[in-house]
């Protein structure tokens, strides 16, 4: 069983997709052993508690970045975490954090990297006038939104799109593919060779799997 630690800052809909995937039977290989937020009012913490998952708030203000990260490491180690998922975690982590969980941190970003890294992926994509955007799930390395890409899904950008409407369509793919990425990792089906990630097994996304089974979340 893979113990997953999820880092969040916001409402946690990506976290919810992993919880649903586990509870529905799509992702029996994993367990969310802890959720950590740097925001005390993060709705993601409520979601975790509702599902009896330990939910930990860690204060980041007035602390050195590395000290905050080492507090996270302590909590993650206490919960025997084998994979860290950054699901809407709005902080940069230090190289010390990355090296502690080397090759075992994945991040989800709401744009097609390497385009539009940073905190405003949707806004930047709209401002640039791109016709296609999407989401990227990738391994984390020392640089922001930079590591080897595991999965990308594209979404057409419409002329009247706002950040809200675009993010809603992109999130549908995030909720489908994030559980798939965790499942592939848990099954040892991701092979990383420099910047390339080879997927060694064909698996449906979570929503696709639900549709095949005639189930709903
Ligand atoms: C998602 O768009 C994700 O790609 C980004 O932050 C957002 C998280 O949303 N990194 P939620 O908090 O999971 O609803």
The verdict on the CB of residue 6 being under 6 Å from ligand 1 is: no
Instruction: Tell me how far apart the alpha carbons of residues 33 and 135 are, in angstroms, rounded to a whole number.
Output: 25
Q: Is the CB of 115 under 6 A from ligand 1?
A: no
Q: Provide the token pair at 66.
A: 């590395």
Determine if ligand 1 sits within 6 Å of the CB of residue 12.
yes
- Local mean pLDDT, 10-residue blocks, the chain (217 residues): 97 98 98 98 98 97 96 98 97 97 98 97 98 98 95 98 98 98 98 97 97 83
Q: Ligand 1 test: best mutation among 21, 41, 87, most atoms within 8 Å of CB?
A: 87
Coil vs helix vs strand at 151: strand
> In terms of Cα–Cα distance, which of 189, 182, 201 is closest to 21?
182
Domains located in the chain, CATH noted: 2-213 (3.40.50.170)
Q: Give the integer Cα–Cα distance in Å for 213 and 217.
A: 11
Question: How many angstroms separate the CA atoms of 215 and 140, rounded?
Answer: 33
Which residue's alpha carbon is nearest to atom 14 within ligand 1? 13
Q: What is the pLDDT of residues 48-104, one digit of tens each?
A: 999 999 999 999 999 999 999 999 999 999 999 999 999 999 999 999 999 999 999
The alpha carbon of 194 and the centre of ligand 1 are apart by a number of angstroms equal to 27
Q: Is the CB of 145 under 6 A from ligand 1?
A: no
For ligand 1, say whether the CB of 163 is within 6 Å of any of its atoms: no
| First-last CA distance in the chain | 23
How far from 123 is each of 25, 153, 161, 183, CA to CA, in Å? 35, 18, 10, 30
**Residue 215, pLDDT score:** 75
203 CA from centroid of ligand 1 (Å): 23
Q: Among 26, 80, 41, 38, which residue's Cα sits nearest to residue 63?
A: 38
The catalytic residue among 51, 79, 109, 138 is 109
Atom of ligand 1 nearest to the CA of 14: 13
For residue 216, the model assigns a pLDDT of 72
Cβ of residue 174 lying under 6 Å from some atom of ligand 1:
yes
Q: What pLDDT score does 214 carry? A: 86
What is the predicted pLDDT for the residue at 1? 95
């Amino acid at each position: 069983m893979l113990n997953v630690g999820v880092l969040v800052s916001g409402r946690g809909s990506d976290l919810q997709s992993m919880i649903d995937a586990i509870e529905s039977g799509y992702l029996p290989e994993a367990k969310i052993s802890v959720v950590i937020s740097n925001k005390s009012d993060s709705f993601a913490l409520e979601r975790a508690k509702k599902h009896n998952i330990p939910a930990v708030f860690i204060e980041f203000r007035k602390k050195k970045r590395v000290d905050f990260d080492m507090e996270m490491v302590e909590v993650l180690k206490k919960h025997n975490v084998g994979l860290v998922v950054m699901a809407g975690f709005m902080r940069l982590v230090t190289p010390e954090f990355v090296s502690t969980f080397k090759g075992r941190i994945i991040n989800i970003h709401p744009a097609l990297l390497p385009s539009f890294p940073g905190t405003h992926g949707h806004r930047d994509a709209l401002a640039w006038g791109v016709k296609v955007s999407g989401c990227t799930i990738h391994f984390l390395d020392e640089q922001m939104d930079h590591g080897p890409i595991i999965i990308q899904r594209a979404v057409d950008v419409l002329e009247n799109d706002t950040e809200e409407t675009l993010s809603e369509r992109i999130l549908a793919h995030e909720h489908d593919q994030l559980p798939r990425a965790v499942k592939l990792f848990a099954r040892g089906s991701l092979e990383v060779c420099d910047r390339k990630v080879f997927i060694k097994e064909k698996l449906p996304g979570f929503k696709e799997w639900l549709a095949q089974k005639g189930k709903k979340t």
